[in-house]
Amino acid sequence: MANFVICPATAADCSDILRLIKDLAKCEYMEEQVTITEKDLLEDGFGEHPFYHCLVAEVSKEHSIVRFTMYYFTYDPWIGKLLYLEDFFRMSDFRGFGVGSEILKNLSQVAMKCRYSSMHFLVAEWNKPSTNSYKKMRCL
């Protein structure tokens, strides 16, 4: 079992985040639709007013980022403040280590600490491994 460290992404992680975004798009047969650049990620996520936040998981020994979770805060006029989980992706070799569960716990704690009413995300119905995992965690 690999040892992981989960932490907020830094500006230095933008190239790895872009790599994982492209890997996610490839899994969804949508590679050509990724137009964002490393510069965009840097400016949009690490400026004075970030448009997104990101957690990364890296393998301790290798210092290699193998998972990213991009999220942002928004507002719903019926329920108030909420955390929206935009992307949640890991390299296929790193399934089953519990990192996803830990990240979801971390995000839940962020939402509760900030007194957000809920955490929202979407998952494609065809993505059975993910939907099964979320059902086990009682997220769906």
Helices 38-45 and 14-27, axial angle in degrees (round to 10): 120
Of 52, 72, 84, 134, which one is the catalytic site residue? 134
Asked if 53 and 46 count as a contact pair (C-beta separation under 8 A), the reply is no
Is 71 marked active-site?
no
Q: Are strands 118-120 and 80-90 parallel, antiparallel or unpaired?
A: parallel
Residues 134, 83: Cα–Cα separation, whole Å = 17
Query: What is the C-alpha to C-alpha distance for residues 131 and 127, in angstroms, rounded to an integer?
Result: 6
Residues 49 and 33: their CA atoms lie apart, in Å, by 26
- Which residues are bridge partners to 30 per DSSP? none
Residue type, 87: D
β partners of residue 71: 53, 85
**Which positions are annotated as active-site residues?**
134
